[in-house]
Amino acid sequence: MADDASARARDGGEEDGGGAGTTTKSDKLVKREAEKAAKKAAKEAAKEAKAKAAAQRSRNAGGVVTVQCSTTPPVELDACSGTRDWYPEEFRLQRWLYEKFRETAKSTGFEEYDAPVLERQELYKRKAGEEITQQMYAFVDQDGVDVTLRPEMTPTLARMVLGRAASMMLPLKWFSIPQCWRFETTQRGRKREHYQWNMDIIGCKSVNAEVELLFAVCAFFKSIGITSADVGIKVNSRKVMASVLDSYGITDEKFAPVCVVMDKLDKIGADAVKEELELTQGLPAETANKIVDCLACKSVDELQALCGDGVDQSGIDELKRLFELAEDYGYGDWLIFDASVVRGLAYYTGIVFEGFDRAGELRAICGGGRYDKLLSLYGAVTEVPACGFGFGDCVIVELLKDKGLLPNIPKSVEFVVAAFNESMQGKAMKTASLIRAGGAEVDMLLEPKKKVANTFDYANRVGARYIVFVAPQEWENDMVRIKDLRADYTDKDEEKQIDVKISDLGRALEVLRAHEASVGAANKMGSMTVS
Ligand code: HAM
């Protein structure tokens, strides 16, 4: 009581006179609350610091070691410019993305292939002035062969198909996720090495092939949470553009190098494209103007109206059919016609397309098209129709980051096996081996911890679901104790663990799931009876 009274007095519990120069009751209350809050915060901060120090001590006691590195190491520790190291946390994300590529390709009936990253330079010797051929990591090997790290996969695919020409039943539907190397200026979404998901169909003349490929691209986007509001795919036809340019007097031979220049429209703008068409391709200013005007067309009909009879009707029909079939397939909303998309690679001959972010912040997400003449260039006696796309792993990650869609994939393992002490280590290893034989993932604690808390710390750090304790008492009874670290089916500690017979370790997961189901069901019944 006395305390209460003095506290009241101290805190201004009695009414103030309220005269000039005196503090009101509410001022005092506010001050007191603020002091209280500050005290509480200081107390919590001290508690947190103490807990951190304790955790650090326990880590030290648990033998957690970190690497110390000199501030002036004798070698450069960063990866080469434009290339990436894949630390486990980044690698987990990479695997997630590639699995999505893979699942999409497999769900559409494509088969996976691969090839060496080293190729002969001759595969890429094309005269159109493409950037890619100037960006190669090319060198002469010790046999005197001109080789290069592959800048793209399409020539390799063509080489492989022709390498077994006689036994290839067409159409082929193949996919791959190769690493490609281009000596580019590094920027957001563009590196000097990237992994490029490729899907190609060899041996199908009809536009149904492109429709199938575009289905896969859209299905992939959807599978990672990207919608048609985020991304679109611009579609055009080189066949149509060739006919238009032919009507402007540009011959077949000139067409590919002119496309390489037209492809720069997004990057360098209309005036620079006109200038380059005049300077490097020797086109009259009037023709260069006409070309740039026609690149601005935003519908097939507009292009047809602008270019009149000069337009290749079969190319227009293909484009129209592609848009119709995309509607039937249910992804029409992803596609738009864009006459400025001609792609920078010389070998495209028909429909071409490019994925872009609708916010307009990023470089092309993916790109592809039809390349009916490439295999003839490498020795096919008759024309082999082909089309496909390449989809890099850089821009898409930037887009996922921007949209907050990158998943958090923590480190995880099913079991940690921990020996009670060094003399039980052999038994613990036997335990690990028996559980692994049943197909489960097991991380063996390499040095037994003196304190059980350190074993828990370790298990949490590696993301384990279960700890298997191998201790003399249970072992004498042909058992090991398994603790579930993420048991959400019970609050009772004793129900979170179970002794499992050594002879049952090969089916440990099955035993644990049965335990979880029975405890979970019993607890559910219990809570229903109580309510
Ligand atoms: P591409 O347009 O040169 O086509 O590349 C395709 C995709 O690869 C680009 O849209 C982009 O996602 C990615 N990519 C290209 N260069 C880089 C880079 N330096 N850094 C990061 N990502 C990059 C081709 O390569 C064709 N071979 C695709 C193809 C397959 N056409 C038919 N089949």
pLDDT at 206: 98
Mean pLDDT, range 78-106, rounded to an integer: 97
User: Is residue 5's pLDDT more than 60?
Assistant: no
**Residue 473 C-alpha to ligand 1 middle, in angstroms?**
61
Decide whether any atom of ligand 1 lies within 6 Å of the 154 Cβ. Answer: yes
Mean pLDDT, range 177-194, rounded to an integer: 96
pLDDT at 530: 54
The bridge status of strand 386-392 relative to strand 413-419 is unpaired
pLDDT at 46: 82
Closest CA to 322 of 304, 308, 311, 334: 334
**Residue 352 C-alpha to ligand 1 middle, in angstroms?**
13
Report angle CA 220, 224, 228 to the nearest 5 degrees: 70
Respond yes or no on whether the N-terminal peptide bond of residue 171 is cis (omega within 30° of 0).
yes
- Token pair recorded at residue 470: 């191998």
Mean pLDDT, range 21-40, rounded to an integer: 75
CA 67, chain centre distance (Å) = 29
Closest CA to 417 of 456, 452, 467: 467
Proportion of the chain above pLDDT 70, given as a percent: 92
Kindly report, residue by residue over 339-385, the tens digit of the pLDDT.
Answer: 999 998 999 999 999 999 999 999 999 999 999 999 999 999 999 99
**Residue 136 C-alpha to ligand 1 middle, in angstroms?**
14
Decide whether any atom of ligand 1 lies within 6 Å of the 353 Cβ. Answer: no
Ligand 1 site-directed mutation target among 97, 152, 397, most atoms within 8 Å of CB: 152
Mean pLDDT, range 55-62, rounded to an integer: 58
Ligand 1 site-directed mutation target among 196, 217, 363, 391, most atoms within 8 Å of CB: 196
**Residue 170 C-alpha to ligand 1 middle, in angstroms?**
25
Query: How far apart, in whole angstroms, are the C-alpha atoms of residue 22 and residue 453?
Result: 57
- Burial 9-33, CB ≥16 within 10 A → b, else e: eeebeeeeeeeeeeeeeeeeeeeee
Query: How far apart, in whole angstroms, are the C-alpha atoms of residue 75 and residue 493?
Result: 51
pLDDT, the chain, mean: 91
Mean pLDDT, range 301-309, rounded to an integer: 84
pLDDT at 50: 78
pTM score, two decimals?
0.85
Q: Whose CA is nearest to atom 8 of ligand 1?
A: 392
pLDDT at 514: 96
- Token pair recorded at residue 68: 């110390």
Decide whether any atom of ligand 1 lies within 6 Å of the 150 Cβ. Answer: no
Count Cα atoms within 13 angstroms, Cβ side, for 145. Answer: 10
Contacts of 276 (CB under 8 A, 6+ apart): 261, 264, 268
Query: How far apart, in whole angstroms, are the C-alpha atoms of residue 46 and residue 110?
Result: 59
Mean pLDDT, range 312-334, rounded to an integer: 96
Kindly report, residue by residue over 134-174, the tens digit of the pLDDT.
Answer: 999 999 999 999 999 999 999 999 999 999 999 999 999 99
CA 16, chain centre distance (Å) = 67
Alpha helices per DSSP H over 282-312: 285-295, 300-307
Proportion of the chain above pLDDT 90, given as a percent: 77
pLDDT at 256: 86
Query: pLDDT band at residue 62, thresholds of 50, 70 and 90?
Result: low
Please indicate whether residue 475 or residue 255 has the higher confidence score (pLDDT): 475
**Residue 190 C-alpha to ligand 1 middle, in angstroms?**
10
Query: How far apart, in whole angstroms, are the C-alpha atoms of residue 81 and residue 149?
Result: 16
pLDDT at 25: 60
**Residue 390 C-alpha to ligand 1 middle, in angstroms?**
5
Query: How far apart, in whole angstroms, are the C-alpha atoms of residue 444 and residue 43?
Result: 40
pLDDT at 231: 98
Alpha helices per DSSP H over 82-199: 88-107, 131-134, 154-163
